[in-house]
Structure 1
Amino acid sequence: MPVYWGACWKIEASLLRVNWEQYGSSAGINWITVAYAQFLVCYRMKETSGWQQVFSSPHLDWVIKQVALNAKVLGGALGDHNKMVAVASCSEIIPWALQANGNGSEIGVFHLGVSAEALFFVGNQLIATSHTGKISVWNAVTKHWQIQDIVPINSYDAAGTFLLLGCNSGSIYYVDVQKFPLRMKDNDLLATELYCDPTEDSVTALSMYLTPKTSDSGNWIEIAYGTSSGVVRVIMQHPETVGSSPQLFQTFTVHRSPVTKIMLLEKHLISVCADNNHVRTWTVTRFRRMISTQAGSMPLASFKILSLDDLNGPAGCGAGTGPFGEWDKQQVLIQRVVLDTCQVFVRLSSTSKRICEVRSVDAAAITAFTVHECEGSSRISSHPRCYLFTGHANGSVQMWDLTTAMEMLGKPPEASSLTEEELLQQLAQCDFSMQFDLTGPPRTPNTR
């Protein structure tokens, strides 16, 4: 099945980060950050003028390994600068503050001292983590870096202003980044131990799902995590039990290798392990949008997403395939089988059913990809649409609309979709030797 819409820009992309921002109801402004080997470029799209380059960083002395974009810095924390972009090498981090017109100014160069495996924004705060146990936060209000040592970090996830860290010791640490809590005695970042795995296995994957507020005291928090032994667990914390450890809800022992990716969604629980991207999925039963403890989670599918270039992808096995998409909708997996290929396959993350095949319009090899959903044009009040961005080796970024393919996936095939050969085969199976008219007596052929 082909993809139904695409666009192309002349950009050489090795890393892609997308952030869509909607201003009011009259104009939609969208941002995309594309990282070259040693500098990055920011593009902005308006409905009236299309995509335009608005910022280009200076040439750096090192190769970019991580890139993060935040187009929603709230509360005027940066003054006239309401957007931020940051890059990281093995140990250096450079953030830029972007103005509304796109011009940017370097905030400073920070030396983490160790390799930064993850660089991302939670609210206004820029966060970098390392598997050695260091976590660094740039506070947009105080405008200074805060670095702290905890136990080695293997995974993380953020939802709202909450940040979870999965550690080698089996512990899950919790930080409310909005409050930016600091300890009084040493001014270190306050990272509270939220939960510890019963067998103290290393927490290698994390996923947090926040339900709407059920009371004045807070949210119902659901957390799914995977361990180095392949165990998948689901824990929950009720609003009335804030302050105590979450309760263990379910345990699945279906993987034989470390879990590399896990995703807890509204309707599905998805886990990926290091054994050739082996994926296991479950259906999640909910009552009033909260996970149900009566029916529980039921097994749905088991499959593998073959990918021979995982060793060259970011952050190891499973990270390059997804799942991608919104938490309350159907998510997708992006399968790039081999390196230097010009095509990827888009599959449902729940069942592995192929949605479509995306092939670059100019046969250029795909070097990076990401998926994002955004609001449609405000002038026609269209529904949100799902887009796939692909970066290519020949210096282009191509944009694909996946919404039409996903909508057609659930529709039965139409009669007009039959090919000529299929139609002839069906006609050959029909028997036209006898015909009867049941509305009257048999007709006598006219011999005249």
Structure 2
Amino acid sequence: MTNYQEIVNLNIGGTRFATSWHTLTWVPDTFFTALLSGRIPTVRDETGAIFIDRDPNLFGLILNFLRTRDIDLNNVNIRALRHECDYFGITPLSRRLALCDEINHSSCGDVLFYGYLPPPSNPPISNGSSGRNGNNGSRKNLTVSNSDVAAVRSHSRNSSLDLRTVGRIPSQDQLSRCGRGHSRAASLGNAECHKGLKQNENTWSENMKVQIIKAHHNWIAVAYSHYVIGYRLTDSCGWYVAFQSPVQESTIERIALNAKTGGATSGGNSSAGTDVMLGVSSGPLVRLWAFSTHTEPVRRTLIGTFNLGVRVEHLLFVGPQLVALSGAGSRSKAGVWHTSTQHWQTQDVAHLTTYDTAGSFLLLGTATGAVNYIDMQKFPLRMKDNDLLVTQLYKDPNQEPITAISVYLTPKTSLCGNWLEIAYGTRYGSVRVIVQHPETVGHGPQLFQTFTVHQSPVTKVSLSENYLISVCSEYNHVRSWRVTRFRGMISTQPGTTPKAAFKVLALEAPTAQAHNDCGPYGEQDEEQIFIQKVVPDTDTLYVRLASNGKRVCTIRSVDGSPVSCFVVAVQCEGALRPRRLLLCGHRSGAAQMWDLTAPVDKAARPAHPPAANALHPEPHPPFAPYCSGY
């Protein structure tokens, strides 16, 4: 007869425990009931204690639960403890931990989770005629049918789960439609056929994942391999499908989105009802569409297909003007489509390396150390001269190649107009700030300050109202400075002071950085942030302040699918204050949104502001240490 008060000595991973037979066996059908009944062979140490090769710290928590029927989960890794409970078969504790895990990691997202856009329910299939039909003006391809829109709009939690599964594992119907149906050769075990099937499944998965995601105002464009879906946000409907591009024969490499253009369509006819314009590039070709969502079905007009002559590396809107840039060595080119003239024009731009925009200005950095600019407001006046009016603004004193550039236009005041402030980084690690006074416009900018703290080429630079931030190619090493201003203009008294140095580590390949840009993101009058994606296939992103590297929050995919691309955008309309949204595209084909407004504002505020009447204010905190962690 079993003595339930008998002491049982255990050696768990080198740590000794002593408990009673009753404590270990009050939960039926567990590892311990099988062990003590002899159904599981035992291994004993030199003292005769039963040896079990498991984590002693986690076992101590389980043993306390068996003793008291209760557990304190503060500072406990719930998932690791749940794994141990499953191993030992402690079902009551395992169920409790599962509930706690669901509360902490809900599939509906945390408090920052803002929205979910499911994958397209009927993704279009690319074929040889789709691209041509999209260009020949047929009515079938110039509209999005109501049934297509309704199919994508309809969404439930169960349907989204099914769509995520379809995005990863094609059904037999999908395989057959793509020319990958069952064949006799495959059933006979033909190795080549299986190899082709696996390759096509990978192709299907790549076509389903979100390649690029962009936003402008209350619009989002989600680009897949061969088509783009546009979403619009309204108070009454929330996010809904507003338009879809034609299927492209070539893989989409860049997209640009401009909402509420109010421009004109091809042929010079006004399109007052146009809501949004979408530019798409593949190789050297650029296609531009205008969409009007005021009609049913949605009216889509192909404005034109343009050729830059070299592969498009940057595609953007400067106001309503579409700009395509390429910095491919000596064959650097700039192409502009102007909304008022309906004309596409290209021009060689020597040694183009980087760019930035400010108002109607497009600034171009070059490998020869020159800063050039194009004023889009003057551009239509020179159309007959076939000249983009590329003008040199400044020349680096050492003629160092310019690798990053940032423009800040100070707000106009009653005392003076805009100051033009430009920060740029070079291939040799220098960061310079140049300033142009309103009263000295004809004399060009003057060199204001030089920083030589980087030893590697500068890849990013951002000049804002309060900070100067630079990033170099050595593991995204960031340096930041606090900017002193007087009446809104940059000041030399006392000038810029160093703020922090840290690294935004990422283990992604350089080729993956085009649509996974770490930042900094944010308007120039607010706190900017970095988005850190450490490894390529991850469902987790880290948000950090650009000024000091402080971790703001951690974002995890609500469905567990890896993040394929991301961008930070400001959603302005329909809200009392602008929302700063992190938009993530996923390999499942879905898009997820996170509202970063509150955590960024909270992290940017000083923890303990000094009292107004303090006689002995606290000393300034030391500079942030050099940080290489995540």
TM over 0.5, shorter chain: yes
Q: Confirm or deny that 1:6 pairs with 2:203.
A: no
Distance in 2 between residues matched to 1:147 and 1:364, nearest whole Å? 41
Q: Matches of residues 27-426 of structure 1 in structure 2 within 5 Å?
A: 30-74=218-262, 78-80=270-272, 81-101=274-294, 102-131=298-327, 132-180=331-379, 186-214=385-413, 218-315=417-514, 320-375=517-572, 377-378=574-575, 382-409=576-603, 410=605
Asked if the contact 2:262–2:271 (Cα under 8 Å) also holds between the matched residues in 1, the reply is no
The one-letter code of the counterpart of 2:235 is E
Distance in 2 between residues matched to 1:164 and 1:412, nearest whole Å? 38
Per-residue Cα deviation, 1:3-42 (whole angstroms, up to 9, x for no partner): 533321113421010011xxxxxxxxx2110110111111
**CA distance 1:299–1:224, shift in 2 (3 Å):** same
Distance in 2 between residues matched to 1:96 and 1:72, nearest whole Å? 13
Q: Secondary structure at the match of 2:379?
A: coil
Asked if the contact 1:3–1:405 (Cα under 8 Å) also holds between the matched residues in 2, the reply is no
* Cross-structure match for 2:90: none
**Percent identity, aligned pairs only?**
48
**CA distance 1:328–1:342, shift in 2 (3 Å):** same
Distance in 2 between residues matched to 1:182 and 1:169, nearest whole Å? 28
Asked if the contact 2:374–2:390 (Cα under 8 Å) also holds between the matched residues in 1, the reply is yes
Q: Secondary structure at the match of 1:109?
A: strand
Report the count of equivalent residues: 399
Distance in 1 between residues matched to 2:458 and 2:525, nearest whole Å? 23
Q: Secondary structure at the match of 2:475?
A: coil
Distance in 2 between residues matched to 1:76 and 1:59, nearest whole Å? 24
The two structures have a TM-score, normalised by structure 1, of 0.85
Q: Matches of residues 421-436 of structure 1 in structure 2 within 5 Å?
A: none
1:71 is displaced (CA, Å) by 0.7
Asked if the contact 1:153–1:166 (Cα under 8 Å) also holds between the matched residues in 2, the reply is yes
The one-letter code of the counterpart of 1:85 is L
Q: Secondary structure at the match of 1:240?
A: helix
1:201 is displaced (CA, Å) by 1.1
Distance in 1 between residues matched to 2:531 and 2:589, nearest whole Å? 21
Asked if the contact 1:310–1:320 (Cα under 8 Å) also holds between the matched residues in 2, the reply is no
The one-letter code of the counterpart of 2:448 is F
1:130 is displaced (CA, Å) by 0.6
Q: Which runs of 5+ in 2 are unaligned?
A: 1-103, 105-109, 120-208, 609-630
**CA distance 1:342–1:268, shift in 2 (3 Å):** same
Structure 1 window deviating more from structure 2 (122-131 vs 369-378): it is 369-378
More strand by share: 1
Distance in 1 between residues matched to 2:554 and 2:396, nearest whole Å? 40
Q: Secondary structure at the match of 1:313?
A: helix
The two structures have a TM-score, normalised by structure 2, of 0.61
The one-letter code of the counterpart of 1:111 is N
Structure 1 window deviating more from structure 2 (193-202 vs 215-224): it is 215-224
**CA distance 1:48–1:236, shift in 2 (3 Å):** same
**RMSD of aligned residue pairs (Cα, Å):** 2.1
Q: Secondary structure at the match of 2:442?
A: coil
Distance in 1 between residues matched to 2:607 and 2:587, nearest whole Å? 38
Greater Rg over alpha carbons, structure: 2
Structure 1 window deviating more from structure 2 (339-348 vs 67-76): it is 67-76
Distance in 2 between residues matched to 1:334 and 1:187, nearest whole Å? 41
Distance in 1 between residues matched to 2:512 and 2:558, nearest whole Å? 23
Per-residue Cα deviation, 1:388-416 (whole angstroms, up to 9, x for no partner): 11111011111111122223334759xxx
Distance in 2 between residues matched to 1:262 and 1:95, nearest whole Å? 30
Q: Secondary structure at the match of 2:439?
A: helix
1:126 is displaced (CA, Å) by 0.4
More helix by share: 2
Extract structure 1 runs of 4+ deviating beyond 4 A.
74-78, 181-186, 214-218
**CA distance 1:193–1:7, shift in 2 (3 Å):** same
Q: Secondary structure at the match of 2:304?
A: coil
Distance in 2 between residues matched to 1:310 and 1:326, nearest whole Å? 28
Distance in 2 between residues matched to 1:54 and 1:376, nearest whole Å? 17
1:216 is displaced (CA, Å) by 8.9
Distance in 1 between residues matched to 2:551 and 2:442, nearest whole Å? 44
The one-letter code of the counterpart of 2:535 is V
**CA distance 1:376–1:136, shift in 2 (3 Å):** closer
Distance in 2 between residues matched to 1:92 and 1:19, nearest whole Å? 23
**CA distance 1:136–1:364, shift in 2 (3 Å):** same
